[in-house]
Amino acid sequence: MTSLPKDPPKKKLGLVIDLDICVGCHACAVNCKEWNSGGHSAPMTDTDPYGADPTGVWFNRIHSFEVENKQTGGRTVNFPKSCLHCEDAPCVTVCPTGASYKREEDGIVLVNADHCIGCKLCSWACPYGAREYDEDAGIMKKCTLCVDKIYNPNLPEESRVPACVSTCPVGARSFGDLGDPESDVSQLVASRGGYDLMPEQECRPTNKYLPPRPKRQGGETQSAPELMPVTDSSAGVIARWVDKFLSA
């Protein structure tokens, strides 16, 4: 159970996140919370939600990073992060109870809420911080890749994607089978140089990130003319005196 599947899953469902497109609106995180509050891992408990120090369970979070570079100038990159459904998922192998498992059929990493003892070791083992502890339920929770949505026959075909993907207003998130080199997501990763986060941790994450495109150089862009100040400094003594008097 807690061991990883003997034959690595052929199907590897996962997300491709385009850092060039993401505008950091947090809509994916909000819709994630919305869907999962009624789904497989519900509820997504909040502690002190309307108080001074609210905290709660989130499966998806949007960070913003600044990249400093004297030559090319800095850039700000919005950075959504959720479970990467790793092929060598350390959160699965450290689990002492077998509650944490990786599905053979599609590679999704899930937690069995009835078996989890809430020892938190999986959250220590995950280098990415994809694991959450639910204080109320006393168990670990995590992104399910909306397993209760993507296979749901009651939903129209086009809605059978994770909540974060269906809600993204700019199309920065794609969902598909990363185990199939012919799939749209695999083609996208290949054409844009998609990469793994922290490959040195050797978890072999399924989710891929697409780098921001290089900035356009040279004369391709034209700046708008500089704005002129609204106040007219050449106003006469009386006008300036009136302005000073009324502004006081």
| Interacting residue with another protein among 5, 197, 204, 240 (CB under 8 A) | 197
- Residue 201: helix, strand or coil by DSSP? helix
d(CA 86, CA 174): 17
Long-range contacts of 229-235 (CB under 8 A, 24+ apart): none
Interface stretch with another protein, choices 33-41, 116-124, 174-182, 240-248 (CB under 8 A): 116-124
| Interacting residue with another protein among 125, 148, 183, 240 (CB under 8 A) | 125
Query: What is the DSSP pairing of strand 46-47 with strand 55-56?
Result: antiparallel
Q: H or E stretch including 77? A: strand 75-82
Number of residues that bind another protein (CB under 8 A): 69
Q: Is 181 in the site for another protein (CB under 8 A)?
A: no
Interface stretch with another protein, choices 8-16, 35-43, 55-63, 232-240 (CB under 8 A): 55-63
Nearest C-alpha neighbor of 143 from the set 211, 49, 202, 80: 80
| Interacting residue with another protein among 6, 50, 68, 217 (CB under 8 A) | 68
Contact 34, 166 (CB under 8 A): no
What's the DSSP call for residue 195? B
| Interacting residue with another protein among 15, 22, 32, 99 (CB under 8 A) | 99
d(CA 19, CA 187): 17
| Interacting residue with another protein among 28, 32, 58, 142 (CB under 8 A) | 58
Footprint of another protein on this chain (CB under 8 A)?
1-3, 19, 26, 29, 53-58, 61-69, 72, 74-77, 79, 81, 90, 92-99, 115-121, 123-129, 132-134, 137-140, 195-202, 209, 211-212
